[in-house]
């Protein structure tokens, strides 16, 4: 496996050559600032671009053409990375070397070119995409786990870019006009930073030449390098909100001060896995298996905000006991009161995840993205060594830096309520 980086002006092209897949994946990522209303317009614009274009003037026509090209998939998603918004487009195709059609790859590029350079923006499609987006946000309320997570983020990240959903916000949808969508498109094509990646088995020089010819981007915007807001999160008062639920949702938050790529980053990754990732983690065994206090419990490290979130679901009567046991478990890690086997299992969990990530086109593209933007080596052995080298003392010392900053509970008023 080999990563080669080519450049045209300030556009970066990643070519990840590997024979382990029978497909070729092409991904384009457009970077802009993260702001709630513009994220809403950008997401609606992206959805309209992948719905149809002037060459394929209806959803049905575009779908039919993709099916004819051996079920080529065209995707478009809105993402965020730190304080940046990303419009991501991609195609996943059967490796052209398996297809007895010399026009196949050119036809795929023609679809990408039509999608990105010949859009068909109209009021009807905009209204359709607005309704789809509204339905998504309404479903968020209906799914109590998603709704609880949203309310938790709203409180935790109040006034912070991390609060912003890359799809935008319900309250901005109706106000977005066709003109704003068109302006968002013009800004994306002409002013956004752009990174293109290709993963699979291909002739790099030939693919690069054909991509440049089919997708003649001319932006001079350099790739961003300021993804972090390194301001410390102040401690917040606990918040409890109520609604009819079968399970109370508990969220507890720790600040680490360790961001992606910092010294201590890999120790934080191991610490989080030891604390609450996977079925062998300390929290899973203690809170769920031994004490039967929760239906699930999981810890997640957020390296772009330097926070660790612990989330769980349980009966109301167990909330206080679960909180105390979670806090006690962290104190045990600080004191070194955990077995070597627990640390080894946490490392093995991470090692398996890293190896799996190098066996997926999508993950390889993301690893190359982190390499380009955040200087993380594109090297499986480097990551594995960093994980293996984390010592028990490293974990204990890093755990001592963690501080509790916020607790949120969404639950029923009492255990006797009819729950949903």
Beta bridge partners of 256: none
In this prediction, residue 418 carries a pLDDT of 38
In this prediction, residue 39 carries a pLDDT of 98
In this prediction, residue 230 carries a pLDDT of 80
Q: Copy the structure tokens of residue 36.
A: 């709630």
Tell me the average pLDDT of the chain.
94
Give the pLDDT confidence of 278-335 residue by residue, as tens digits: 999 999 999 999 999 999 999 999 999 999 999 999 999 999 999 999 999 999 999 9
Give the pLDDT confidence of 127-168 residue by residue, as tens digits: 999 999 999 999 988 899 999 999 999 999 998 888 999 999
Going by C-alpha positions, the residue among 275, 281, 272, 270 that lies closest to residue 351 is 270
Q: What are the chain's domains?
A: 2-214 (3.30.830.10), 239-411 (3.30.830.10)
Integer Cα distance of 418 and 245 in angstroms: 8
In this prediction, residue 9 carries a pLDDT of 85
C-alpha pair distances (Å), 163 with each of 80, 175, 288, 409: 11, 20, 29, 18
Within the chain, which residues score under 70 in pLDDT?
A: 414-420
Strand (E) positions, 70-211?
Answer: 73-81, 84-94, 193-200
In this prediction, residue 218 carries a pLDDT of 83
- Measured in whole angstroms, how far is the alpha carbon of residue 134 from the centre of its chain? 21
The string of DSSP letters for 20-67 reads S-SEEEEEEEEEEE--HHHHHHHHHHHHHHTT-BSSS-SHHHHHHHHH
Angle at 15 between CA 10 and CA 66, to 5 degrees: 100
Backbone angles phi, psi at 130, to 5 degrees: -60, -45
Beta bridge partners of 250: 312, 409
Cβ–Cβ under 8 Å, residues 163 and 157: yes
């Amino acid at each position: 496996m080999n990563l080669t980086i080519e450049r045209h002006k300030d556009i970066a092209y990643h070519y990840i050559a590997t024979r382990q897949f029978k497909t070729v994946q092409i991904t384009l990522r457009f970077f802009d600032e993260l702001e709630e209303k513009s994220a809403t317009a950008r997401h609606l614009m992206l959805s309209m671009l992948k719905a149809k274009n002037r060459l394929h003037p209806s959803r049905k026509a575009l779908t039919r053409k993709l099916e004819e090209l051996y079920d080529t998939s065209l995707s478009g998603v809105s993402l965020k990375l730190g304080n940046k918004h990303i419009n991501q487009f991609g195609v996943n195709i059967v490796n052209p070397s398996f297809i007895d059609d010399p026009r196949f790859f050119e036809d795929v590029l023609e679809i990408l070119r039509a999608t990105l350079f010949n859009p068909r923006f109209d009021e009807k499609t905009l209204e359709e995409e607005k309704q789809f987006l509204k339905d998504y946000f309404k479903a968020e309320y209906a799914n109590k786990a998603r709704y609880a997570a949203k309310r938790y983020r709203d409180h935790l990240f109040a006034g912070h870019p991390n609060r912003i959903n890359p799809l935008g916000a319900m309250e901005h949808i109706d106000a977005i006009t066709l003109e704003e969508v068109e302006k968002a498109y013009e800004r994306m094509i002409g002013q956004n930073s752009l990174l293109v990646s290709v993963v699979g088995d291909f002739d790099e020089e030939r693919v690069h030449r054909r991509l440049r010819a089919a997708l003649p981007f001319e932006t001079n915007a350099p790739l961003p390098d300021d993804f972090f807001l390194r301001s410390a999160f102040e401690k917040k008062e606990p918040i409890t909100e109520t609604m009819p639920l079968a399970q109370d949702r508990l969220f507890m938050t720790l600040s680490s001060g360790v961001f992606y790529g910092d010294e201590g980053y890999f120790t934080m990754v191991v610490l989080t896995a030891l604390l609450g990732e996977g079925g062998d983690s300390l929290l899973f065994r203690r809170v769920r298996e031994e004490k039967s206090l929760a239906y699930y419990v999981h810890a997640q490290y957020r390296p772009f905000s330097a926070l660790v979130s612990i989330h769980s679901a349980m009966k109301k009567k167990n909330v206080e006991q679960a909180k105390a046991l979670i806090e006690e478990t962290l104190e045990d890690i600080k004191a070194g009161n955990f077995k070597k086997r627990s640390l080894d299992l946490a490392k093995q969990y991470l090692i398996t995840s890293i190896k799996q990530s190098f066996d997926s086109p999508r993950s390889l593209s993301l690893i190359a993205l982190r390499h380009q933007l955040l200087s993380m080596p594109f090297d499986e052995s480097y990551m594995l060594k960093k994980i293996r080298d984390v010592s028990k003392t490293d974990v204990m010392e890093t755990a001592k830096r963690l501080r509790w900053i916020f607790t949120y509970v969404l639950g029923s008023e009492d255990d006797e309520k009819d729950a949903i």
